Structures are given as C-alpha cells and as structure tokens.
C-alpha cells in the first residue's frame, strides 16, 4: 500500500482553497477546513480530508441532501430561541460550517447563562462529532455533540435495528469532551454502530477485509467483504452481546438530533428525504428532512472551581495510565489520549495519505487549478 505524506500547513491551505474555489465564503471555508484537518491530524482518517471530494465538493456529494448539492452561502437561521436554547435551520448548507456556528451559539449561551443547547435541522454531513464537543473545552466547558438520521423506508449501509431486517438508522454518533488541567482533554467520539460507514468505505478502498460482526450482507449474514455490506450492526451486535443497548443509544441520539431539531416532520419535502423515498411516503406521514444535529455546552464553574475539576480529571487520567496494562498493550489510555499522541506525530512528520486520497486531492487540484505539493513531490500536482 502506497502512503504519501503532506505537511499539515500545506494541506490546510490546499483544503481551504478548494472550499473557496467550490463556492464557499471565507468564513465557511475556514470552519470546514478546521473540522477536516482536526480529524486528519488526530488520526480519525475516516472523517478527515479523505472525505473532501466525495462528501463536500462533488455534485454527487452533499451527504444529507437527496440531490447531493450543498448550498453555499446560506445562513444558519434561528427558528426558536431562548436564553439557553435554540433550534436552527441550516437551509441545506454545509454541515461542517453550520455546525461550527451552532456550537459557537451554544457556547455563547453557556457563557451567559451556564448552559447552552442548540439543535440544527435541514443540514448535511458534519464530519467528526468530537470536533464540536472539543470546542467547548477551550472555554472551560464540557461539550456535547451528536448527529442522526432515521430512514423510514430503509437505506443501504444504514444500521439495522436490534431484532429487525430493514437498515433504518444512520450510525448516530455521540461525542463528549471535558477539559483537563495539564494534559489533553477527554474526548469521547463514538458511533452507536460497531463501526461507522466511513470505516467500511475506507477498508474497501484499501482492499482489506472486515472482521466478522461489523456488518451484514443482503441476506442478513455477517460478511467480511466491504463490497457486500448492506447493513451496519448496532453497537453490541445484531442479536447478541448487548446490541439492544447500541440500538437504544442510537435512538437516544436521534431523539436529540432528528426529533428535537424538528427535522422529523409530517408531510416532509420528498426532495429532502433520504433513503428509499417511496411515494406517497411513510404510512405514518412523518419523515426526516435533512440531517439533524445537537450541540450543548456546560460551564464548569456552575458545578465547582474549574481548576479543581480539571485537576481531578488529571488525577483520574493518571490513575488509569499507571494501572497495569493487559497483554498486548503498553498503557491504559482514556479516550482522547491516542488521538492527541497521533496529532503530535503528524504535526511533526506530516499527514499520511493513501493512494485513493492522493488521487482525489489531485483531481481537485486539476479541477480548480490549485497546487498540491506533497512532501516527496518537488513539482506539484
């Protein structure tokens, strides 16, 4: 497998310039670039720059819109507002930048009142949920983020409900972040399926097999071939090992994102409903217009002294790190530590790119006449 590298600063400039060339304004381009670069630097390659072309630039991208087109330049409009809450409409725009705006609004409300909760409807793919939760840690706050979709008529590569045959849920990730005192923040970012769809796609690109239990084929049987995946499995498994818990978490996430945001509605616009869009629609009259998101921020000082809380988190981290590791492990680490270590390495050594990602970025470079200079390339692409 051929891996090439590019310095993080050159890749950041390239991604930003591609967003601008594709029609995004400066603010949206900067926000979207930050989200993708954060994931790529931390080793979350499934949600990083590898998705730039296919999810956010291609006319067939725009994950969250049936027509695949992301509307550039549309505002994030507030539809309901209170001192501590807001429901907003992304108007079919870029989920990356709309989500940064929504999380900033939650942080503003938390700054003023201790707590801020903001939902978004009518949006598109928002990348790594952990990015938005982590935003709050820079303000001495705990952050939460989630996204979700319910396909009432099913969708290939969606998550099958526990005990069911029809794949109906997106992988509905949940993220939480808490600031530490001296070390990296605690950052939990997990799908409520065994793995996200992006990982299946990435392994298919790399020509690698799946572990059995990750996904099912069209016969509802476990498959190791990424090309035959028809259904994703809830966290815990399709029928055993706690799959009912993963299914319950997925629904809980969807209540926060699809239901509270107002995305799940009666007589929805069929052009904004994803999956099998049967006419005249679902029997119950409800379906989801676009992807829904949820963001929340809590000020630490409403619960105690922030420095004491962060020192307490440091002590917890140290307690785990110093506990005896199991065979095959060097150290017990908490969520956020492996990604922080990866970020330090990639800031120093550059970001590795697979051949398929290099091909996608080279295609964008040619499309928009933007130079892409990899670490071992002295001529540009």
Does pLDDT of 318 surpass 90? Answer: yes
Task: Read off the pLDDT of residues 10-26 as tens digits, 9 standing for 90 and up.
Answer: 999 999 999 999 999 99
Tell me the pLDDT band of 279, cut-offs 50, 70 and 90.
low
The CATH fold of domain 1-58+350-381: Hypothetical Oxidoreductase Yiak; Chain: A, domain 1 (1.10.1530)
Question: What phi and psi, each to the nearest 5 degrees, are found at residue 296?
Answer: -150, 150
Does pLDDT of 354 surpass 60? Answer: yes
Does pLDDT of 379 surpass 50? Answer: no
CATH for 75-194+233-336, among 3.50.30.50, 3.30.1370.60, 3.10.350.10, 2.60.40.420?
3.30.1370.60
Tell me the pLDDT band of 281, cut-offs 50, 70 and 90.
low
Give the C-alpha separation, 95 to 102, whole Å. 10
Q: What is the mean pLDDT of residues 232-260?
A: 88
Does pLDDT of 378 surpass 60? Answer: no
In the numeric block, which tokens belong to residue 176? Answer: 């939480």
Residue ranges of domains in the chain: 1-58+350-381, 75-194+233-336
Task: Read off the pLDDT of residues 60-99 as tens digits, 9 standing for 90 and up.
Answer: 777 888 788 899 999 999 999 999 999 999 999 999 999 9
Give the C-alpha separation, 254 to 105, whole Å. 21
Task: Read off the pLDDT of residues 34-55 as tens digits, 9 standing for 90 and up.
Answer: 999 999 999 999 999 999 999 9
Q: What percent of the chain has pLDDT over 70?
A: 96
Task: Read off the pLDDT of residues 212-241 as tens digits, 9 standing for 90 and up.
Answer: 889 999 999 999 999 999 999 998 876 666
pTM across the whole model: 0.94
Mean pLDDT estimate for the chain? 93
Task: Read off the pLDDT of residues 132-184 as tens digits, 9 standing for 90 and up.
Answer: 999 999 999 999 999 999 998 899 999 999 989 999 999 999 999 999 999 99
Question: DSSP characters for 85-140?
Answer: EEEEE-TTB-HHHHHHHHHHHHHHHHHHHSEEEEEEEEE-----HHHHHHHHHTTT
pLDDT number for residue 380 = 42
Do the strands 158-159 and 231-232 form a parallel or antiparallel pair, or are they unpaired? parallel
pLDDT number for residue 274 = 87
């Amino acid at each position: 497998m051929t891996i090439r590298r590019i310095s993080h600063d050159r890749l950041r400039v390239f991604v930003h310039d591609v967003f601008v060339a594709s029609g995004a304004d400066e603010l949206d381009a900067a926000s979207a670039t930050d989200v993708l670069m954060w994931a790529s630097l931390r080793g979350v390659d499934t949600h990083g720059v590898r998705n730039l072309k296919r999810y956010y630039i291609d006319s067939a991208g725009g994950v969250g819109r049936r027509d695949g087109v992301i509307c550039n330049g549309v505002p994030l409009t507030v539809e309901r507002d209170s001192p501590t809450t807001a429901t907003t409409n992304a108007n079919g725009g870029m989920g990356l930048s709309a989500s940064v705006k929504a999380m900033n609004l939650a942080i503003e409300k938390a700054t003023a009142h201790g707590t801020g909760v903001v939902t978004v409807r009518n949006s598109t793919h928002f990348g790594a949920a952990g990015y938005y939760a982590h935003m709050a840690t820079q303000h001495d706050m705990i952050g939460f983020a989630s996204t979700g979709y319910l396909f009432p008529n099913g969708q290939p590569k969606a998550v099958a409900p526990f005990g069911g045959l029809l794949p109906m849920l997106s992988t509905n990730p949940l993220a939480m972040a808490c600031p530490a005192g001296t070390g990296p923040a605690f950052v939990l970012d997990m799908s409520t399926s065994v793995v996200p769809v992006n990982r299946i796609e990435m392994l298919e690109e790399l020509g690698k097999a799946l572990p059995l239990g990750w996904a099912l084929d069209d016969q509802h049987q476990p498959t190791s071939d990424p090309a035959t995946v028809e259904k994703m499995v809830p966290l815990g498994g399709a029928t055993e090992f706690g799959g009912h818990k993963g299914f319950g978490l997925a629904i809980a996430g969807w209540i926060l994102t699809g239901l509270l945001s107002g995305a799940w509605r009666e007589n929805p616009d069929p052009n904004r409903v994803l999956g099998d869009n049967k006419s005249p629609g679902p029997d119950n009259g409800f379906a989801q217009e676009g992807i829904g998101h949820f963001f929340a921020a809590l000020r630490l000082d409403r619960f105690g002294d922030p420095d004491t809380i962060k020192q307490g988190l440091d002590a917890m981290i140290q307690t785990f790190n110093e506990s005896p590791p199991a065979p095959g492990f060097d150290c017990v680490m908490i969520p956020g530590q492996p990604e922080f270590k990866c970020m330090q390495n990639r800031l120093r050594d550059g970001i590795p790119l697979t051949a398929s990602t290099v091909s996608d970025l080279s295609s964008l470079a040619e499309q928009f006449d933007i130079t892409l200079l990899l670490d071992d390339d002295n001529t540009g692409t």
